[in-house]
């Protein structure tokens, strides 16, 4: 089982979009579990919108000793399963502030993920939180989506700082992190210049695949579905991304 975190400490760079597209692509060949590790619960509301109430969510996995991942796995499609989240998780950092070993809560529950899963993809919130740290601790690989803004690069730098802090605290060893360009456009001079700078400065960690700007992604979310089911033309980029990541792993 390989675990991939999708994370950037900057909002709206395409973490959720990437999680859904990549998970759908992987689910064509593998059994995939998506963990909604964002209190905003975007994945939950986009893909599990027809379920009004969950017996348990990731919130319970964090807080309750006897609840594991296997108590809150919901099927979205064939080979594509989801651990949902809920808005209560907004206060988790506070609720867990006095708990020891709190960066390892998910690590200590990893054995409750059924071994049938080949891949676990974790969608994260845009904040440095205990939940982000838990996600990094259990991940084999981190993908950091950036859009064509300098603040998303600052978000990447904050991610690197967070990794360094976790290393200094002996909570992780070296983690592979890759940068994914999302919401780029093909024509503007601004994006071309930005792209050139990114290619020069981040060449060791930059993925070749670029997800271009398109309203189709927003449409797919509004329709509670994946880009693969909404637009075959826009789905192709996720085949490329998937192959690139399988190569790295």
Ligand X SMILES: Nc1ncnc2c1ncn2[C@@H]1O[C@H](COP(=O)(O)OP(=O)(O)OP(=O)(O)O)[C@@H](O)[C@H]1O
Contact residues toward ligand X (CB under 6 A) are 11-17, 38, 40, 42, 126, 182-183, 211, 213-214, 217-218, 221
In the complex, minimum distance from the CB of residue 65 to Mg ion, in angstroms, rounded to a whole number: 28
Q: Please, which residue, 14 or 68, has the CB nearer to ligand X?
A: 14
In the complex, minimum distance from the CB of residue 226 to Mg ion, in angstroms, rounded to a whole number: 15
Q: Is residue 44 near Mg ion by the rule CB under 5 A?
A: no
In the complex, minimum distance from the CB of residue 111 to Mg ion, in angstroms, rounded to a whole number: 27
12 binds, among ligand X, Mg ion, none (CB under 5 to 8 A by kind): ligand X
27 binds, among Mg ion, ligand X, none (CB under 5 to 8 A by kind): none
211 binds, among ligand X, Mg ion, none (CB under 5 to 8 A by kind): ligand X
| CA–CA distance, 48 with 25 (Å, rounded to integer) | 18
Q: Is residue 42 near Mg ion by the rule CB under 5 A?
A: yes
In the complex, minimum distance from the CB of residue 42 to Mg ion, in angstroms, rounded to a whole number: 4
134 binds, among ligand X, Mg ion, none (CB under 5 to 8 A by kind): none
116 binds, among ligand X, Mg ion, none (CB under 5 to 8 A by kind): none
In the complex, minimum distance from the CB of residue 205 to Mg ion, in angstroms, rounded to a whole number: 21
Q: Please, which residue, 42 or 85, has the CB nearer to Mg ion?
A: 42
In the complex, minimum distance from the CB of residue 19 to ligand X, in angstroms, rounded to a whole number: 8
- Position with the least CB separation from Mg ion: 16
Q: Which two tokens stand for residue 241?
A: 């991304």
In the complex, minimum distance from the CB of residue 13 to ligand X, in angstroms, rounded to a whole number: 4
160 binds, among ligand X, Mg ion, none (CB under 5 to 8 A by kind): none
Q: Please, which residue, 12 or 114, has the CB nearer to ligand X?
A: 12
* Structure-derived torsion over alpha carbons of residues 168, 172, 173, 176, reported in degrees to the nearest 10: -110
Contact 117, 31 (CB under 8 A): yes
- How far from 189 is each of 39, 152, 195, 196, CA to CA, in Å? 36, 19, 10, 11
Residues 109, 125, 194, CA angle at the centre, nearest 5°? 130
Q: Is residue 16 near Mg ion by the rule CB under 5 A?
A: yes
Q: Is residue 24 near Mg ion by the rule CB under 5 A?
A: no
Question: Can you give the binding site for Mg ion, defined by CB under 5 A?
Answer: 15-16, 42
């Amino acid at each position: 089982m390989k675990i991939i975190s999708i994370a950037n400490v900057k909002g709206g760079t395409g973490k959720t979009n990437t999680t859904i597209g990549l998970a759908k692509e992987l689910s064509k060949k593998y059994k995939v579990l998506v963990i909604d590790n964002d209190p905003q619960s975007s994945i939950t509301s986009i893909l599990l919108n027809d379920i009004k109430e969950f017996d348990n969510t990731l919130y319970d996995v964090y807080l309750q000793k006897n609840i594991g991942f296997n108590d809150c796995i919901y099927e979205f499609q064939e080979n594509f399963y989801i651990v949902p989240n809920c808005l209560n998780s907004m206060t988790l950092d506070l609720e867990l502030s006095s708990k020891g070993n709190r960066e390892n809560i998910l690590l200590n529950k990893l054995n409750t993920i059924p071994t049938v899963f080949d891949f676990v993809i974790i969608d994260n919130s845009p904040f440095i939180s205990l939940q982000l740290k838990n996600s990094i601790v259990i991940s084999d690989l981190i993908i950091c989506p950036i859009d064509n803004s300098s603040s998303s690069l600052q978000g990447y730098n904050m991610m690197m700082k967070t990794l360094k802090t976790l290393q200094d605290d002996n909570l992780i060893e070296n983690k592979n992190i890759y940068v994914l360009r999302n919401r780029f456009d093909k024509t503007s001079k601004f994006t071309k210049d930005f792209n050139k700078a990114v290619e020069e400065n981040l060449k060791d960690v930059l993925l070749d695949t670029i997800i271009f700007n398109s309203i189709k992604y927003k449409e797919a979310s509004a329709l509670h579905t994946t880009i693969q089911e909404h637009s075959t033309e826009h789905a192709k980029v996720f085949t490329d991304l998937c192959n690139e990541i399988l190569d790295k792993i």
